[in-house]
Amino acid sequence: MMDIAVLSVFAFAAGLIDAAVGGGGLIQIPALFNVLPSAQPAALLGSNKLASVCGTAFAARSFIRKVTLDWGLIVPAALSAFVMSFAGAATVSLVPPSVMRPAVLVLIVLMAVYTFCKKDFGTLHTPAQVGRKEQCLAVLIGGAIGFYDGLFGPGTGSFLIFLFIRFFALDFLHASASAKVVNIATNLAALVFFVPTGNVLYAIALPMAVCNILGALTGTWLAVRKGAGFVRGLFLVLLCVLIAKLSWDLLAG
């Protein structure tokens, strides 16, 4: 019971952060591996995905009720992400983490510098008119991020938010809301593998899912209430945490 209680607290925190700016896996996955060190890694990852997809779905539902989203961009990106996450998972053994970490670290540093230096980045919502070009770009973005999520994972939500702002001129609030829908697709794709193979610890995952949902609803409420500026600040904090984690992994490796 104590393990479930501890993991539920971390799941709530993960859901809250993930709803606003992504990055819930940075909290939830280490918690699972530390609290349940003897469990199979695949079972822990499957449990994480089940809890995460529940929280992400409720966050997306809350955003959809309060923020106007452009489904002409989101649907192609989500479908592409779902398909390509399988491809990423299938090639995970071909690209070792030691190769991915330096490249991802450089990208996240560049994202942080760009966001920090460009003060109006993500503060204005001036969405581009959606045409064939924008839909094709959404498919490319969704596919690339879906592939990355299946292959490696850290920072998936942050990359989506950044790209939605950079290429479609959304603000942080609308970009975060859009990213949630795409994240549902990548999480579901992973569960299509984890559930049939028995790699979900339901006694742990279901209580975590409830707490992740509660955290996600809280995070969504804060994001909508505080606005794009608040989400931008959280986004920069999360990028700094990602930079620190990936740097530590490189030094420790």
Where the chain has pLDDT below 50, the residues are: none
Please state the pTM of the whole predicted model: 0.86
pLDDT at 253: 64
Please state, in angstroms and rounded to a whole number, the distance separating the CA atoms of residues 200 and 43. Answer: 5
Residue written as token pair 């460009």:
118
Q: Three-state SS for 110?
A: helix
pLDDT, tens only, 186-213: 989 888 888 888 989 999 999 999 999 9
Please state, in angstroms and rounded to a whole number, the distance separating the CA atoms of residues 48 and 127. Answer: 33
pLDDT at 90: 74
Please state, in angstroms and rounded to a whole number, the distance separating the CA atoms of residues 71 and 160. Answer: 15
pLDDT, tens only, 142-154: 999 999 888 777 7
Q: For all residues of the chain together, what is the average pLDDT?
A: 89
Rg of the Cα atoms in the chain: 17
pLDDT at 93: 62
